[in-house]
Amino acid sequence: MPSLEQIVRVLSLEDYNTRVVVLGVMALGAASGLVGTFLLLRKRALTADALSHATLPGIAVAFMIMVAFGYDGKSLLGLLIGAFVFGCIGVLAILGIRHTTRLKDDAAIGIVLSVLFGLGLCLLRIATELPSGSAAGLSGFIFGKASSMVASDATTMGVVAVSIALVTTFLHKEWTLLCFDEKFGSVQGWPVLRLDILLMVMVAIVTVVALQSVGLVLAVAMLIIPAASARYWTTKITPMLIAAASIGCLSGWLGAVVSALVPRMPTGPIIVLICGLWFIISFIAGPKDGLIIRQWTRLYLNRRIAKQHILRAMWEVCEGNAVPEFTVDSIVYVRSWNKRTVIRLLKKVSKLNYVTQLPSGKWLLTEFGFAEAARVVRNHRLWEMYLITYADIAPTHVDRDADMIEHVLGRDLVAKLELLLDATKIPQSPHKIGVTL
């Protein structure tokens, strides 16, 4: 276990190597979160995977070219330029297949990923057998080698992060339109294809920069996981961009810190694992469609539906009676429900002051419960009348269709139904009148 002194030393960034790695991966995480958000909204999550695998032949080709001209084949700048060029080739190949054939994105991505990665493996084998130059270490780009990062690498990541933030701010509106309604933008005259190419170029740049820290295999995680996590916290594009950049930045910081504190622990995989932890937390506790809030909403809706069903059943058995009282058996007879279920529901609504039990064993709708039951029945029958009148649903089948929508009827929709049907009172049940309304 690391000592307190080591923890303080790492957190305060006293060591040069720790400072370089932490600042570099934080910048990479922020840039990945920004670009990955648009990539996720474009439903192109696997595009980053294809681009990262497409960089491998670029690395091998750049090495061989530099060795052929007598230069050091291990020049990081040269290798990254080669990776970027082939990343752009991968982008153009995906867009070309998508826009010139009937194949969808998934097919185009699968073709480009497999072909270019296979080409990269073959070229990498050729590079290792060259008589001049040493190809040892090139395979490190597959899994990343953040510990070998120097100040120039961190500076490059910082410049890329700032540049992407500026481009994202400038093209925020255009890329948002591209993500949500590409055809509308095309009709309005927006340069959709050029915007798409620019976005993919930004993805290629981030992917190439990520090779140094997390490698081409895990680069897709840095682009997609922070954006996917942010999606559980907000539904608005600007807060989602900020959240994704923050999650990516924080994951990079935590991953670098853990890697520095635990001996022989690779930085890239730790960063990805922390990103995955953030996703699990967001998936479970996120306020926007998280597991907890989704289950709570479902439970609340089920309780609301059960309450409305028992209110409608009580009204229907009391309809036409001078006193709104009834027995449990009358509801069981009309609804064919289990007697225990009816009693359980009656006890629940009695706590809401909708109904009270008389000394005789009968149940009586309270004034408040009577009004609420009347509202529920009225909404249900209004919807039944609408379906019969405008949707050509038979009266014998309309009850089931009405049950599917009546529980989410809002005031505005009820008001529209009243105008369409000219109904101001509670309509009669179409099951009883048996005629077209």
pLDDT digits (tens, 9 = 90+) for 307-328: 888 888 898 888 878 888 889 9
Residue 404's pLDDT is: 55
Residue 436's pLDDT is: 37
Residue 148's pLDDT is: 72
Query: Locate tokens 């340069």: which residue?
Result: 191
How far apart CA 249 and CA 261 sit, in angstroms, is: 19
Highest CATH level, class, for 4-286:
mainly alpha
Residue 361's pLDDT is: 87
Give me the residues of the chain with pLDDT under 50, please: 433-437
pLDDT in tens, 37-57: 998 888 877 777 778 888 888
How far apart CA 12 and CA 80 sit, in angstroms, is: 31
User: Residue 407 in contact with residue 305, Cβ under 8 Å?
Assistant: yes
| CATH architecture of the region 290-437 | Orthogonal Bundle (1.10)
How far apart CA 8 and CA 13 sit, in angstroms, is: 8
How far apart CA 220 and CA 211 sit, in angstroms, is: 11
Question: Distance of CA 372 to CAs 43, 274, 369, 375, Å?
Answer: 45, 50, 5, 5
User: Residue 384 in contact with residue 437, Cβ under 8 Å?
Assistant: no
Residue 437's pLDDT is: 33
Q: Provide the greatest CA pair distance for the chain.
A: 104
User: Residue 294 in contact with residue 362, Cβ under 8 Å?
Assistant: no
Residue 138's pLDDT is: 67
Query: In sequence order, which residues have a C-beta less than 8 Å from that of residue 40 and are 6 or more positions away?
Result: 224, 227, 228, 231
How far apart CA 220 and CA 55 sit, in angstroms, is: 13
pTM, to two decimals:
0.78
If DSSP codes are grouped into helix, strand and coil, which group holds residue 232?
coil
Question: Distance of CA 392 to CAs 128, 382, 384, Å?
Answer: 74, 15, 11
Tokens of 345: 């529901």
Query: Locate tokens 């105008």: which residue?
Result: 419
Q: Write down the domain spans for the chain.
A: 4-286, 290-437
Tokens of 141: 């780009």
How far apart CA 232 and CA 279 sit, in angstroms, is: 9
- CB neighbours (10 Å) of residue 155? 14
Q: What is the percentage of the chain residues whose pLDDT exceeds 70? A: 84
